[in-house]
């Protein structure tokens, strides 16, 4: 290390520390040629075109994935507000999440299918406050 005067020069910590990301990247299998993009790929593309943050994208995709798995791998467009009304309370009861977390899950699910918003409002699956 070079010594100038009485103070030794060191690189700043941010230069030495590599950027680490501990969250695994989950990728979906590719569709055969000729078929359109999959649901979560379409959601990611829509989020990126609206310039949402990567964290929002990750959260929304996670909530949509949980919703699909909760209802036995059915496509969200096949489901009605009743399924949405069953999923949100199950978060509170089973997963013990807060109201703001339920609101985030609802926003993610309404992002997939905006028509669901009208169905959810009609059935009472509204935002909690």
pLDDT tens sequence across 28-40 = 566 565 577 888 9
Give pTM, 2 decimals: 0.65
Judge whether 106 and 125 are in contact, CB under 8 Å: yes
Chain centre to alpha carbon of residue 93 = 21
Judge whether 83 and 73 are in contact, CB under 8 Å: no
The helix/strand/coil state of 33 is coil
**Biggest CA-to-CA distance, the chain:** 75
pLDDT at residue 18 tops 90: no
Domains and CATH numbers, the chain: 38-129 (1.10.150.130)
pLDDT for res 70? 94
The angle formed by the CA atoms of residues 30, 35 and 37, to the nearest 5 degrees, is 60
Tokens of 8: 């030794």
Tokens of 31: 């569709």
Gap between the Cα atoms of 71 and 67, Å rounded: 6
pLDDT at residue 123 tops 70: no
The angle formed by the CA atoms of residues 71, 74 and 79, to the nearest 5 degrees, is 80
pLDDT tens figures, 67-112: 999 999 998 888 888 888 899 999 999 999 999 999 999 999 988 8
49: pLDDT confidence band, cut at 50, 70 and 90? very high
pLDDT for res 31? 58
């Amino acid at each position: 290390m070079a010594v100038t005067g009485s103070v030794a020069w060191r690189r700043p910590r941010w230069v030495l520390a590599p950027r680490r990301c501990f969250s695994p990247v989950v990728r979906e299998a590719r569709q055969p040629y000729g078929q359109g993009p999959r649901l979560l790929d379409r959601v990611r593309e829509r989020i990126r075109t609206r310039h949402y943050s990567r964290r929002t994208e990750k959260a929304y995709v996670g909530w949509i994935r949980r919703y699909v798995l909760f209802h036995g791998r059915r496509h969200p467009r096949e489901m009605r507000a009743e399924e949405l009304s069953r999923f949100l309370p199950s978060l509170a009861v089973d997963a013990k999440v807060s109201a703001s977390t339920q609101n985030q899950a609802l926003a993610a699910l309404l992002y997939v299918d905006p028509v669901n918003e009208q169905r959810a409002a009609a059935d009472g699956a509204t935002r909690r406050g």
